[in-house]
């Protein structure tokens, strides 16, 4: 009698199965690691606006092939190691570095997979981005180099560090040269990323931190996160903020909205020689012209996610107690509710999905 293979183990997952349709909560085969791969048992996965862009985007907008599991902001513990995945142990608690690159170019070799030179050739961009991600009970990671130990950090705190935390940290690192003693940083948008940026600025620079948002609830979050001043975005906000800088303007503006309104505000607040970091993907437009509205000597950056080394630095900040992520917890099975709440701007801080 022929040997029969035992039935494959299964798991629950939130998957993109058709473009323009709500992701489906269903059952798929549980991943098994091959070669240098590592399987992580997921404890928490953050929900990002990019997940909405993927879920709501039309066919052809992204190079990804269906179906795949969403979730690019993942924490859990190592549950299985491929035969070539040396140096790690099962049970180790980790956060997953999400922007997987080609793994061969100079950028990937340097741990800057977020700026992989071959990104344009790939039909995926990382965990939950065309490859199966962590909105599931298990996730298969291509290599242990994408895993950062989190020690005893709660998974619900650790997961958002891999995207919201890392993206905010990378943006602050990019402008930190302008943020010495006596300077001012402005954070536009105090949501899942912005509230962490406020904390990271307070923990890693001597700057005064001013925060702006369109929601009253976000102003309270800004204050809880350590902002020296927080105000609603209104007609005269640039004047109000500039007054808080003694009239010289902000040495750095980190725009987590990236809309026409936020970019206009940033332009009106920026100090000559200041840094504008456009982090949010709000589709806003900025005219770069000389002479023009932007002050002389200003520098513009469009940071994307962060590096593997920076993820370890963010985790270390969080483990030191310098970072607290405001989260709203949803069971994985309630992912559709979480997506809806995020779409309606009704999530305070970061939504986190928890399997089981
Ligand atoms: C991921 C993939 C593509 C675009 C933007 C993102 C961000 O969510 C990463 O922080
Ligand atoms: Zn994201
Ligand atoms: Zn690469």
For the CA of 98, the closest atom of ligand 1 is 9
**Measured distance CA(113)–CA(309) in Å, rounded:** 11
Which ligand has the nearest atom to the CA of 167?
1
Q: Match 């709203």 to its residue by tokens.
A: 328
Look at ligand 1, atom 4, and give the residue with the nearest C-alpha: 50
- In the structure, ligand 2 is a single-atom ion and the residues with CB under 5 Å from it are 48, 50, 163
Distance 110 CA to ligand 3 centre (A): 9
Q: Match 């040997």 to its residue by tokens.
A: 3
Q: Is 163 in the pocket of ligand 1 (CB under 6 A)?
A: yes
Distance 187 CA to ligand 1 centre (A): 19
Q: Is 100 in the pocket of ligand 1 (CB under 6 A)?
A: no
pLDDT for the residue 1:
62
**Measured distance CA(241)–CA(237) in Å, rounded:** 6
Q: Among 28, 47, 30, which Cα is nearest to 347's?
A: 47
pLDDT for the residue 4:
78
Q: Is 125 in the pocket of ligand 1 (CB under 6 A)?
A: yes
Look at ligand 1, atom 3, and give the residue with the nearest C-alpha: 50
* Low-confidence residues in the chain, pLDDT < 70: 1-2
The 10 Å Cβ neighbour count of residue 246 is 9
Q: Is 171 left (phi over 0), alpha (psi -120 to 50) or beta?
A: alpha
Distance 260 CA to ligand 3 centre (A): 32
Distance 50 CA to ligand 1 centre (A): 6
Q: Which residues contact 74 (CB under 8 A, 6 or more apart)?
A: 40, 42, 44, 45, 46, 95, 96, 98, 127, 128, 133, 134, 139, 159, 162
For the CA of 51, the closest atom of ligand 1 is 8
- Please write the tens of the pLDDT for every residue from 80-133: 999 999 889 999 999 999 999 999 999 999 999 999 999 999 999 999 999 999
Distance 302 CA to ligand 3 centre (A): 19
pLDDT for the residue 154:
98
Q: Is 167 in the pocket of ligand 1 (CB under 6 A)?
A: yes
DSSP 62: S
**Measured distance CA(74)–CA(53) in Å, rounded:** 18
Which ligand has the nearest atom to the CA of 125?
1
Q: Is 48 in the pocket of ligand 1 (CB under 6 A)?
A: yes
For the CA of 50, the closest atom of ligand 1 is 8
pLDDT for the residue 348:
86
Instruction: Give this prediction's pTM.
Output: 0.96
Domains annotated on the chain, with CATH: 10-149+326-354 (3.90.180.10), 166-301 (3.40.50.720)
pLDDT for the residue 86:
82
């Amino acid at each position: 009698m022929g040997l029969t293979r035992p039935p494959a183990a299964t798991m629950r997952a939130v998957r993109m199965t058709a473009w323009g349709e709500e992701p489906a909560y269903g059952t798929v085969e549980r991943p098994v690691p091959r070669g240098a791969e590592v399987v992580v048992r997921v404890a928490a996965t953050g929900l990002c606006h990019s997940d909405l862009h993927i879920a709501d985007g039309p066919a052809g907008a992204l190079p990804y092939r269906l179906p795949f599991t969403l979730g690019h902001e993942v924490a859990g513990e190592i549950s299985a190691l491929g035969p070539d995945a040396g140096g790690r142990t099962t049970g180790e608690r980790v956060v997953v570095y999400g922007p997987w690159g080609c793994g061969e170019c100079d950028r990937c070799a340097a741990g800057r997979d977020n700026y992989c030179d071959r990104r344009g050739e790939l039909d995926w961009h990382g965990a939950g981005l065309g490859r199966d991600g962590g909105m599931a009970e298990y996730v298969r990671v291509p290599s242990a180099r994408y895993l950062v130990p989190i020690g005893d950090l709660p998974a619900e705190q650790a997961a958002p560090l891999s995207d919201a935390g890392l993206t905010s940290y990378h943006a602050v690192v990019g402008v930190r040269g302008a943020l010495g003693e006596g300077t001012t940083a402005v954070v536009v948008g105090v949501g899942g990323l912005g509230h962490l940026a406020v904390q990271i600025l307070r923990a890693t620079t001597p700057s005064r931190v001013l925060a702006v948002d369109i929601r009253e609830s976000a102003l309270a979050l800004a204050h809880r996160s350590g902002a020296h001043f927080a105000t609603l975005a209104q007609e005269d906000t640039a004047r109000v903020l500039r007054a808080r800088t003694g009239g010289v303007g902000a040495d750095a503006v980190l725009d987590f909205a990236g809309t026409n309104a936020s970019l206009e505000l940033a332009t009106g607040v920026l100090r000559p020689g200041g840094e504008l970091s456009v982090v949010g993907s709000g589709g806003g437009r900025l005219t770069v012209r000389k002479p023009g509205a932007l002050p002389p000597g200003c520098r513009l950056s469009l940071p994307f996610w962060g590096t593997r080394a920076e993820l370890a630095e963010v985790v270390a900040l969080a483990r030191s107690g310098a970072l607290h992520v405001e989260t709203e917890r949803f069971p994985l099975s309630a992912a559709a509710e979480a997506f809806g709440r995020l779409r309606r701007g009704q999530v305070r801080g970061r939504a986190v999905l928890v399997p089981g």
